[in-house]
Structure 1
């Protein structure tokens, strides 16, 4: 989401490269570029003007260290100001002293509120909680059915209640919420997630109902779910809800999309409510806590190695990884079975596109973000199909795969002989590279092999 802003900021910093000192003239040009980059990324105008003003004051003030070049000084100042804008610390998640703690989900229709309720339930389960979900959207039966499906998919408790013959109104909403809280306590659930009704736009009926729910449930958290793709409209909606309900936090959904990212930079400043979670995909586990410093690192082109490592720690099998490394670096190399297993491990971490975008866009990783745009995710499925179409003997010894065998494998996997050849060639290169590294072939040999592999972001290239 932040790639465009990151690229524009990097260009703005170029104006100061080669300059001996920061002056009114060169800082003015750089700040104009920074301001334009933020506005084009849909950051709120008031936020942009305030941010640029702070950057100018610090750049021309005594805080600047002479140990850094002008461009490095501005990069550091912009980084620090963006962290201040988003909040220096990761927002804490509140719970009640007497369970169940109630989390009230607010938001407009289509923002992903129901899906987010399920993702939050999954996230809480991983943290050792026992959540129960309830939908109090009595106006749209499909909404309640959707939440029931979501709850089942993550193995969470759900309270549905008996609404047959009941008239859909605010009294029914309050009764359902009251029953759900009692049911959560009876079942030993320590958290109740309340998915509320959405609207196409904010109206008095919706707001009155939300205010009544807040008074009845005394929630520990009131989270506003905002679709990041809607930009400044999400900021305006969040402010309206915050003015009435005093939101405790915001969840930004669809952060894996191609929106300009301005909402993330504006929403905390405009509403005063911290961003607590990000929705990064459609799957239940595509949900993560919001870390301001990590988001700023992505914006500044520094990547997000911390989140990448956390994801690897959570998704990957450490034992299998160590076994693979030992085998790959030994003289025996590794088989196509091992190769397929590693592909499956990588897929657990998410799309290759999302992984590459977490790498820094500088140094040895320069160009990775751009390469991510060209990744063909379907190619990984084709590679796995090719390996699955081989016999056990072929997977253990690729050198026996003759021309006729390659034709058979291609037919069995629905690919071409060229696809099979490309896979086998790249597999052979990887075996050679690992053998060189494991056998102490020297830095130059390793660099030469890495150079051969560079740029091949997908199989078949």
Structure 2
């Protein structure tokens, strides 16, 4: 996951600060030297790192901090605040025109950044907000680009406007806006062509569209795995055509994350969304404060709760709560909890938002709870009879052998599953507040009625 290495290094620096009862100026400088190295290794822009460390040091080396009751904690608080400021302080939404007025959004980016998929993801987000978006296929160069947009549009339930690949992109864009005005669409999203590298022809095409179509927002999609190259691409697009915001993709991959910490400071443009996977639902609103919390190992429980409210089935959660209260937790419930986690991006995605999780801890969890292990659990439960899954019949050694044979696993795997199931059942009896409305209230409360099958 993105930021794992950076997060682990920063947490180690902060651990050392917390151990000290009093801090000297030298302690702060030594800690910030480590922070600087960690940020540079994460591919954060050098000038950005220099200014960041300077700002933290100026605030941290003050008598009110050094002589405070908990100076180590105060320094961490300052680092957190400066990191939020670095990424933009406030969450920025795509600016949309009110009512029936048509907002035209032009998507831009290099090939391979995930622009076409992101275009459909944004259309889905706007549809959820009550807008009526129209996707326009303006990439007439890349083979299958139009077909890809049509497939993704269909999955999102969003209409795609296409004129094939024999018309100029600017003419397709104009025709799409005209189609939108005649058919009640209030957002038009133009999926323009990407190139392997920035060239004049590409820029001229985008400039021509902006000159002949009333483009409200120009959004750049960049691949976070390219690190500082992503920042350079953003700077060039801003200089040549002007951009209103950035979407960072592939932040779920093995990326050092420097682009997320550099783009706002270098270009002055906000990050609007972050792509956290290939599924059309894997697009998150970018919150600078939540991202800073993730990077510093403080977790991101708010996003976790929102994901739970968005992805989980309220009726199923309520039914499971009733059964738990009556101590009726079954293997079917166990299976359902696995499916709930899959909807939310899997156990790794969930735990990455929990405070203190990251780095080597996450690696251990990923190794212990992999997809193959989950698939084996599923196979074992499906090899049981309905009565066995309900817990009405005990699992004798002969039944366990039959289940193991049916699932293609060893009998020891079945014994392990039964043991984990019993442990989880006990845990659920002790934690009824994990289900239904917690202290936070809302649709699912707590952590959205999640249960972890491990």
CA distance, structure 1, for counterparts of residue 398 and residue 333 of structure 2: 24
Match of 2:191 in 1: 195
Correspondence list, 1:228-377, <5 A: 228-330=224-326, 332-361=327-356, 369-374=362-367, 375-377=369-371
Matches within 5 A, 1:423-438: 423-435=417-429
State the SS of the aligned residue for 2:62. Answer: coil
The Cα shift of 1:347 comes to 1.8
Select the residue among 159, 162, 169 that pairs with 1:160: 162
Separation in structure 1 between the aligned mates of residue 112 and residue 69 of structure 2, nearest angstrom = 47
Provide the C-alpha distance between the structure 1 equivalents of 2:93 and 2:311, rounded to a whole number of angstroms. 24
Give the distance between the partners of 2:162 and 2:320, measured in 1 at CA. 47
Residues of 1 paired with 2:343 and 2:142: CA distance?
A: 35
Q: Is the 8 A contact 1:357 1:368 kept in 2?
A: no
**Distance in 1 separating the partners of 2:108 and 2:287:** 22
Supply the distance in 1 between the matched residues of 2:370 and 2:121 (Cα, whole angstroms): 27
Q: Distance in 1 between matches of 2:328 and 2:198?
A: 62
TM-score (norm. length: structure 1): 0.89
Q: Is the CA contact (8 Å cut-off) linking 1:228 and 1:252 kept in structure 2? A: yes
Deviations 1:197-238 (A, max 9, x none): 111111111111111111222222111100000000000000
State the alpha-carbon separation in 2 of the partners of residues 376 and 142 from structure 1.
Answer: 33
User: Where do 1:157-236 residues align within 5 Å?
Assistant: 157-163=159-165, 166=166, 172-236=168-232
Structure 1: which 5+ runs fail to align?
A: 439-456
Cα deviation, residue 178, structure 1: 0.7
Instruction: Give the equivalent residue in structure 2 for 1:391.
Output: 385
Report the secondary structure of 1:238's partner residue.
helix
Contact 1:43 1:232 in 2 (8 A): yes
Q: 1:20 to 1:260 in 2, by over 3 A?
A: same
1:405 corresponds to which residue? Answer: 399
Quote the RMSD (CA, aligned, Å).
Answer: 2.1
The two structures have a TM-score, normalised by structure 2, of 0.90
Contact conserved, 1:333 with 1:435, CA < 8 A, in 2?
no
Following superposition, the deviation at residue 62 of structure 1 comes to: 5.6
* Cα shift at 1:334: 1.4
User: Residue 89 of structure 1 aligns with which residue?
Assistant: 90
Give structure 2 stretches of 5+ with no counterpart: 433-451
Q: Map Cα deviations across residues 79-124 of structure 1 (whole Å, 9 max, x no partner).
A: 0000100111100221135632111001111110001011111111
Structure 1 position 13 matched with structure 2 position 14? yes
Name the SS for the 2:134 alignment partner. Answer: strand
Deviation, 1:432, is 2.9
Q: Give the aligned length.
A: 432
In structure 2, the residue matched to 1:76 is 77
